[in-house]
Structure 1
Amino acid sequence: MDDLPLNESEFVRRLEEANQERFDDPDWSFNDPQQRAILHDEGPLHVTAGPGSGKTEVLVSRTLKLLLVDSVPPGSILLTTFTEKAAQSLEERIVDRLDAIGFGDAVDANEIRVGTLHSLCNDIMQEYRYQDYANVELLDEDGQQLFMYRHCDFVDYISGSDLNGQWDTVPEAIDARDEDWRFFEELHGWQVHDQHGPNKWQATEITSKLFNRVSQYRASTNRLRRHKDRPWRACAEGLEKYRETLREQQRCDFARLLERFIEFIDTEAGQRFIHGESGRERPALQHVLVDEYQDTNPLQQELYFQVLEEMNRPNITVVGDDDQALYRFRGGTVECLIQFPKRLRERFGTFVESVQLRTNYRSTKDIISWCNRYIDNHPAMQVDGARAPGKQPMEVGRDGTENIESVRAILEGNSDAEPAAIAAELVDRMHDTGYIDDYSQVAYLFKSTKETDRWAGQFVTALRERGIPVHNPRNKAFLDQPEVEFALGAIIRALDPELDALQKRGIQGRVTGQIQDWYDGFDEYVDQHDATALDRYVDQIGTELRATEDESLGLNLLDLFYRILSFDPFLTWVESDDAPARGRRLGQLSKLFDAFASVSGRSTLTASSWANSVSTKFLADFYYLFCGYLHATDFDEPQDPHDQLPSGFVQVMTVHQAKGLEFPVVFTSDLDSEPWTFGGTYWIEEELAPYADISPLGGEDERSVRDEIRRFYVAYSRAQEDLLLLDQADTPTQLTLGYDDGTALTTDWFDGSRRINTPDDFLDHTTGSVGELHDVDLKRRYSITGDVLAYRRCKRQYGYYTDLDFAPNHVTQLFFGRVVHETLDRAHRHYAGELDGSTEGTMPTDDDIERYFREVAEALKTRNIYPMSEDAEQTALQYIQRFNRREGDRLYPRVIDTERRLQSNREEFVLEGVVDVLVGDDDGREIWDYKAGRRPDSGHELTDYSAQLKTYAELYRYARGSYPDRGVIYFLGEETRTDAMFELTFDDDTVQDSLADFERTVQQIQTDREAGNWFDITPADAPSEGTCAECDIRWSCPARPEYSLED
């Protein structure tokens, strides 16, 4: 292997040779703008990259250049992109290219920080043990909505309810503010009542949007508190209260996460992140690379700029395309990309190099010409500031497409049914004639994929009527699926058998109609599926309620859900491989129950003392908070993150879904589309501009028109071979067709061979095919504990929790392990002097340990993770204090790092793990793993623990080149040090044998996943009785028939 670093010419030569082999093209090379971007030296770089211009390849190659030419340590590079899938794709491409040019073993690319900005901020603050972020739960979208409904005072203000506490900006009397909700009518959905205003869930949605925009636009709440209009003053105070509530409840949402990270930058922990820690083998941050910068918001921009201010030089590369900015409705401001050179010069006083990637290697000449004409000639896009300065039209990068007509139209009839039928027949014929190899090479793109007549309904129906499979995960039909309706009906029937609590609690509003529908639907589904055993079980719950007044039923909501799933038809739906989507939907429903429990509490269900139901207090929460959220929200279907574009299905997508993708054949519809100005996106920009870090260009109508043009530009530019405009006759508008030399295009442009009235009009003018389907699957990630040992313990349980994504219920099992690991981590940080009030080199006392323990325990309880008992909690504290006294003075001075994440790229998967403690001194390196309980008697369990440490040893070797000298498994429950410590050494033979076992298990997992073979287990396969006794799905397990609930 040649020595590093490489010179630039050698680097480019090697990379081009690797890509020539990869693309099977001996003439493949980087074009000049690509080379300029890749080889850029230091300082800021601004790259505008049009569709199909090789943006990702350039970003990967620039990262490789930093590693191999500039000798930048991998851990000194921060690389952010828009989605987790895109982040993993970047990571795998970097590893692939390093291997291809012969440096896979010389550079550990796994140390590059790659991810979405939110995931990186969360991980970094946890990794550096930022005290203000310790034990914080990051809320997803569902969690944020549920938390806001329960805990946000401004929601009550908007919905006209009583307010908690003292407000500076709002009068106490409701009648003095009962019309304030009208001020925000631009944000009201169509369901908000004209006289009574928003209900609490509608108020939650309004509040979420307002708070997110105030944060994302960096609007000053201090200045907003002086706004002339009281509702904005209340919004500012409400956001400040909400931030305080999040901190008190140890929660954080995505917008506030970035605010917390900006605070983190100025702290001692943040400085360690940016400037490095040589003692912990963490290099300083040197380069930031940002993908999809066109959808950045001012809060994200400020975060990047503050990081740059702390670095030695503002080394940032931003890549994006202002013409493909789609996310204004989520706070994105395209001006962040358009004005990047100006803003960075003003902030840092330095030159910004700009490069435009304008050669499109994706599409035919005809498609590129259509896209260029559409975006370049539209008057709305010719306004100064609407596009990046000096932007040039895209050029054709493919040979042999000069004389091909690729842009055509199906414009027929006066209803969607007619063009839908022609398009479906054409797709059918394309497949039959071999023009397409697989249905997934065809995409239908819409503004909304709801299967209604207004949107995608007629087009999807026409495809299905021809037997063409359709993949449409964002049809917002999750709650309409029979398995979801039936499950909710069963839950309600069990909790409130006669809807007695619904009446006595006075539950009101539209949600009552939905609850009644689910309740009534239960009987219909029982009859339809002959579910008599389930019906009897639900009746049995009702009998128990009547017999156990004010007493516990001995189960919580998720317990009840899993028991219901043990009966048919649910059991068949989950465990049949004919329709895995049903199991995934029920898995998603379990996650929603879990999110509800996280906010409302995981208390055991008790019988009511005054209604024939469970506790009416619980049911009020369940009806208003949980059922209300379901009723108010359009849920997408769950997707397999590793198979988001399944082969064999026509892809029906929104344009936003299709961003970053390409398809041989694209149908795009909604050609009569008008810009969407409802929802308040543009109104909020206007209102907040004087108080925020935004400078929107033009009025609301102008901005909405430009956003719609960008949406169609993205839709048109997804096509590789064929772009077909699809709609009724005479529906296309100037907005959707664009202009040509100042004149609005009409549908006359398609007269002749470009107009398709029958499939033959297309097929008679095409030859050959679009080529074979090329699947690009991302590698799955496997860990020894979360995957291999979990699968070996019980593959059925593994299938439920990991493949179908069900939420585990028994969180009491989590408490003991979490409290031990997190308290000991604080003990290590105490000794390192990284906690407030601690001095470096000072041992924590028993009192210190108890204080840290209580902080961790209370944080876990805040998130509804409780110990099994007070005795169990006290036992955990005693274990930790004993460990601290016995091992602290020997161990803590030698600790290099704790909770060290490691990973290794294998040929078919990514191996990952977290080492509890990495120890080192002159005598060598050790890896330690804590076990919260006692040393097992079973040799089998010790073998598994040994395999765990050997896996970590392999990960360490992958990162550092050699195995650690020793491994220690420490059982905190043991009285003596001799019994507590299980030690092992590592050699190549034993580690590789263990790794071979690991890989064989991974192969078994992948085989079972492909076959859907999780559930066929026998009594001989059953894990230990203790494992089964705590298993959520034991009620229907063929290996443990004694748990069956059926008569």
Structure 2
Amino acid sequence: MAESTTLPADVFFELVDAVLTSEEVGRQPLDEGGLQRRIVTVESDDRVLQILAGPGSGKTEMLVWRILFELLVLGSSANSLVVTTFTNKAATELEIRLVERCDQLLDQAKQRGVAHTDPHVHDVRVDTLHSLCDGLLREFDDAYMQAGTRLIDEHEALARIAREYRWKLGYNSRTQTPGPANIVCDRPQISALFRPPWENGQWPATDMQRVELLRNAIAQHAETWVPRCSARGRRNGVEFVSPELGVTDALNTVHERWCAYLDEHAAVDFATIQQRFLDRQHTVLPEIRHVFVDEFQDTNPIQFAIHVGWLANEDTRLTAVGDDDQSVYRFRGSDIACFQGLQAHCERRGVPFRLEKLEDNHRSSRAIVGFNESFRQGSILRSVGMDKQLNPAAGAVDGDPVRLLTGDWNRLCEVVAAELAQEQRRNGGELAPDGAVLMFSTSERNTRRQTAPASTMRGALEGAGLRVFNARSKTAAMEGSPVHDLLALISYLIDPVRSRRVPGKSRAVEVYASHREQPQRNHADTVAPQFSSDVHASYQKRFRKAGGSLASPAADRADILAYVDEVRTALAQYDTSRSDGRRLTLSAFVARLLSFPYFRDSGYTPTLFRQALFTALLEANIAPTRMTTRSLDEPMRPTMADGKVEWPKQYWDLLRVLGTMLQNTPLDDEEVEAFSENAISMLTFHQSKGLEFDHVYVAATGRDVMPANALRTALFSGDAVPYTVNNDGQAETNDHRILDLATADRERETYVALTRAKRHLTILCDPSHTRTDISRLNPALDEVFDRVPAHAHPLDPNVLVKSVPTPGAPS
């Protein structure tokens, strides 16, 4: 049979069904002539297809088959297709699924003697939008390539702002004339919009708090105000409340200065890469035939402009997949109005539009699906969301009732651990149950001398013999971590802390060059810098005193400290007239530290990834551009002055910025998913998105409605919304639209958590807990459980259980 260029649609669907029903996949075939085939089929007049896909509805499968339909039936070139996802992990998983399904379909075609051409599926561009923008500009924008522009990550962007915000962005101390960055940082009308709800007292009060605020304000300005207001000359909505601040001009200036700084250093961050691409999108338009957007509900305004910008080419199609009830990233700048407004946008521009809905849940039992739909219908999501109905799939098992456990948090944690340990024993003790504990916050950092709820849960689970994986405990830089200890050793190299007698002091005191008091600086081994911070010294002292003292460190770190002493002495005594170039660089110094058993013997554990995290932070702090790591590769050149070691300014800047960053910015681990296998997951509601587990325990659903994020979206969209700042520095408003949006944001977080469960779903609540999110239930959950009788838990009579029966099942 002669090879054909494309497959007939009926043959394609025959092969798809063969793949789905194969033993390898084990799914149901697509409903012939029904919804699924309608979604997969790319019609000749399809310009925009929006797929409203509920949780567990198989949206990824439909998206993959639609891509393959474009390749194999319509014969489109693989490199003319673009697929954007929200995270790198999602991009990897979707790409793997795409390749697997293509290989399986082609194998079925081969078995049937159906001829086809190679679709080159590996050439389909699948990535996050930031990476796709970077890649497309590299390919089609000569100026971008010639400048050697590189995309910097969030760590590097944060480090650069920390290093430069006083000089490049215009932040002046209070004794000087306020600069544009002062208006952003020092005016509560602005800072309240970005203030974390858990912050008390003055905020921002530290360098890193101001840096975080500036980074977020610049991003919101670039991603919301610029695409929605700039061309129309519309002012930021804050000016309708506080016109005297000149907020729009200040934000424009800060944004322009940041962009100028990035241009100077041939770099772009996540916000500016999108603006750069939108400005140059016309150069790429002829190359792209079909754009597929996953998780479209988490789109921000500039991303929306990019996605609909493809439609300027009449030959380009757009497929957008998502669920407005699962939009949970407004705090990062996303706006649900983008997802909900796609149809209206197309109608205004005469672009053919089609809406399809995937409403059958193939993930969960009937009990869980019915419960989750009851929650959604009983919450504000029913009135503010797009019209849809969550249904159990045909053949779904009834499943166990959804439960509410109430009691003391410590007892609840012990019950959860005991239940999961029982499940492990049922599995033969080999594998941990497929389970997760989902909380609004899984931080294990103690506050106000109180043990963090997540830490209590981890302790109970580990006490029951279960492995625990907390993807975001924000502890990557805490004491004992390589991030902490490597900074301590660099601090010791540059500014060693000594215990010495100082005139005017009755006993020996700690002396070092960056000390706040002059006598201690005068007696240091190192020449004092003109300006620095002594935060780094606290890392050094903790490292050197652990199990020992400054003078007599513990045995496990004595040899590495002695090595640092040797390096400092050798560098200071080096004959600078020599030209052999053999001098130690900072990167080589860190590499040598990592070769010591103290670090090297960590094995394949999160410690290994924290070592890599530190090297990334180090490069982000001192690399002048992303084209070179010159500062890492330049020889370290301290000199001697009056018997003291004198270091160049860049090393003091490193200690100041990196020390302040680690103290004030709790860090996530990188790539620790490698250790999630065979462990109970502890995840935030946001992290759980896209995942599923047999056993799900959901806690901390009762947080207050916090209007700041929704208010910020509206104000940066140019809307005039009245608001005030309360005594705690939080933004408040009585605007019903904003309050509804903020309430819906809270309900969506809970809905995402509830819909992760496949077999067992349990809600946890401690009415006496000091944290209100744990002591209260989400109001819609409270309504569901209100009339359900309670009984004692069999493992602990002090824990009460309420069970909601499966809809339609006998009570």
Range into which the TM-score falls when normalised by the shorter chain: 0.7 to 0.9
Residue by residue, what CA displacement relative to the aligned partner does 1:901-942 show, whole Å, maximum 9, x if unpaired?
A: xxxxxxxxxxxxxxxxxxxxxxxxxxxxxxxxxxxxxxxxxx
Whole-Å Cα distance in 2 between the matches of residues 30 and 591 of structure 1? 49
Indicate the residue corresponding to 2:651 in structure 1. 619
Aligned 8 A contact 1:666 1:718 in 2: yes
Q: Aligned residue for 1:292?
A: 295
Q: Which residue, 272, 280, 297 being the options, matches 1:264?
A: 280
1:447 Cα deviation (Å)?
A: 1.1
- Of 411, 420, 424 in structure 1, the residue corresponding to residue 413 of structure 2 is 420
Describe how 1:21-100 pairs up with structure 2 within 5 A.
Answer: 21-22=22-23, 25=26, 28-30=29-31, 32-41=34-43, 42-100=46-104
Aligned to 1:210: 217
Q: Provide closer, same or farther for how the CA distance between residues 68 and 436 of structure 1 changes in structure 2, counting only shifts above 3 A.
A: farther
- 2:726 matched residue in structure 1: none
Q: Secondary structure at the match of 2:597?
A: coil
Counterpart in the other structure of 2:16: 15
Whether the 8 Å contact between 2:485 and 2:543 is mirrored in structure 1 is yes
Go from structure 1 to structure 2 and tell me whether the alpha carbon gap of 1:597 and 1:737 turns closer, same or farther (over 3 Å shift).
closer
Structure 2 Cα separation of the partners of residues 145 and 55 of structure 1:
35
Aligned residue number for residue 326 of structure 1: 328
TM-score, reference length from structure 2 = 0.81
Matched, 1:130 2:142: yes
The equivalences for 1:116-155 within 5 A come to: 116-134=128-146, 135-152=148-165
SS at match of 2:477: helix
Aligned to 1:565: 594
- Structure 1 gap ranges (5+): 164-169, 276-283, 767-1047
Structure 1 segment 362-381 matched on structure 2, within 5 A: 362-378=363-379, 380-381=380-381
- CA distance, structure 2, for counterparts of residue 493 and residue 549 of structure 1: 23
* Superposition RMSD in Å: 3.6
Q: Residues 765 and 407 of structure 1: is their aligned pair in 2 closer, same or farther, counting only changes over 3 Å?
A: closer
Partner AA of 1:261 in structure 2: F
1:777 matched residue in structure 2: none
Report matched runs for 1:580-729 at 5 Å.
Answer: 580-599=605-624, 601-602=631-632, 603-610=634-641, 612-615=644-647, 617-640=649-672, 643=674, 646-677=676-707, 680-690=708-718, 698-729=736-767
Q: Which residue of 2 aligns with 1:107?
A: 119
**What is the aligned counterpart of 2:395 among 392, 399, 414?**
399
Q: 1:307 aligns with which of 307, 310, 329?
A: 310
Contact 1:408–1:754 at 8 Å: present in 2 too?
no
Q: In the alignment, what sits opposite 1:456?
A: 454
The residue type paired with residue 67 of structure 2 is: T
Aligned AA (1:211): I
Q: Which amino acid aligns with 2:150?
A: E
Residue 516 of structure 1 deviates from its aligned partner by: 2.2
Give the residue type in structure 1 aligned to 2:296: Y
Q: Whole-Å Cα distance in 1 between the matches of residues 273 and 175 of structure 2?
A: 29
Measure how far apart 1:243 and its partner are.
1.3
Shift of 1:462: 0.4
- 2:285 corresponds in structure 1 to 274
Distance 2:639 2:142 in 1: 44
Q: Does the C-alpha gap of structure 1 residues 189 and 372 become closer, same or farther in structure 2, counting only changes over 3 Å?
A: closer
Q: What's the counterpart of residue 351 of structure 2?
A: 350
In structure 2, the residue matched to 1:991 is: none
Task: State the distance in 2 between where 1:629 and 1:44 align.
Answer: 44
Give the aligned partner of residue 441 of structure 1.
434
Contact kept in structure 2, 1:426 and 1:759, CA below 8 Å: no
> Which residue is 1:524 aligned to?
546
Shift of 1:595: 1.5
Task: Indicate the residue corresponding to 1:488 in structure 2.
Answer: 487
Normalized against structure 1, the TM-score is what? 0.64
Question: Cα distance, 1:478 vs. partner?
Answer: 0.8
- CA deviations on 1:251-273 (whole Å, 9 max, x unpaired) are 1101100111111123xxx1xx3
CA–CA distance in structure 1, aligned partners of residues 10 and 39 of structure 2: 14
Shift in Å at residue 699 of structure 1?
Answer: 4.0
Which residue of 1 is the match for residue 809 of structure 2? none
Q: Aligned partners of 2:396 and 2:428: how far apart in 1? A: 18
Superposed counterparts of 1:157-172, under 5 Å: 157-158=170-171, 160=173
Partner of 1:665, secondary structure, is strand
What letter is aligned with 1:494?
Answer: L
How much has 1:355 moved relative to structure 2? 0.6
Change in CA separation of 1:177 and 1:358 when aligned onto 2, cut-off 3 Å: closer
Paired-residue identity, % = 22
Say which SS state the counterpart of residue 761 (structure 2) adopts. strand
* SS in structure 2 of the partner of residue 555 of structure 1: coil
Q: Which residue of 2 is the match for residue 836 of structure 1?
A: none
1:253 paired residue among 251, 260, 269: 269
Instruction: Name the structure where helix makes up a greater proportion of residues.
Output: 1
Find the residue that maps to 2:690 and give its secondary structure: coil
Q: Distance in 2 between matches of 1:447 and 1:191?
A: 13
Aligned-residue offset at 1:75:
1.9
Give 5+ residue unaligned stretches, structure 2. Answer: 110-115, 498-510, 516-520, 522-527, 626-630, 721-732, 806-811
- Conserved? CA contact 1:666–1:724, under 8 Å: yes
Mapped to 1, the partners of 2:793 and 2:779 lie a distance apart of 17
Taking the aligned partners of 1:540 and 1:28, their CA distance within structure 2 comes to 70
Pair 1:745 & 2:784 matched: yes
Measure the CA separation in 2 of the matches of 1:27 and 1:249. 54
Q: Aligned runs of 1:902-921 on 2, under 5 Å?
A: none
- Per-residue deviation at 1:487? 2.5
Separation (CA, whole Å) in 1 of partners of 2:700 and 2:197: 21
* 2:429 is the alignment partner of 1:429: no
Provide the aligned length of Structure 1 versus Structure 2: 722
Counterpart of 1:121, as a letter, is C
Deviation at 1:230, TM superposition (A): 2.4
**Distance in 1 between residues matched to 2:561 and 2:494, nearest whole Å:** 14
Q: 1:682, CA displacement in angstroms?
A: 3.2
**1:374 partner amino acid:** F
Distance 1:432 1:136, change over 3 A: same
Q: In the alignment, residue 591 of structure 2 is paired with which amino acid?
A: Y
Q: Secondary structure at the match of 1:349?
A: coil
Deviation at 1:730, TM superposition (A): 7.1
Give the structure, 1 or 2, with the largest relative contact order (CA under 8 Å, sep 6 or more): 2
More divergent stretch after superposition (289-298 vs 3-12): 3-12
* Contact 1:408–1:750 (8 Å) recurs in 2: no
Question: Residue 747 of structure 1: CA displacement?
Answer: 5.0
Give the direction of change, closer, same or farther, for the CA distance of 1:460–1:750 in structure 2 (3 Å limit): farther
2:506 maps to what in 1?
none
**SS of the residue 1:52 aligns to:** coil
Q: Is the 8 A contact 1:78 1:289 kept in 2?
A: yes
State the one-letter code of the partner of 1:205.
E
Counterparts in 2 of 1:223 and 1:448: CA distance versus 1, 3 Å? same
Rounded Cα–Cα distance in structure 1 between residues aligned with 2:680 and 2:13: 39
Structure 2 letter corresponding to 1:491? I
- Mapped partners of 1:747, 1:591: distance in 2: 51
Shift of 1:418: 0.9
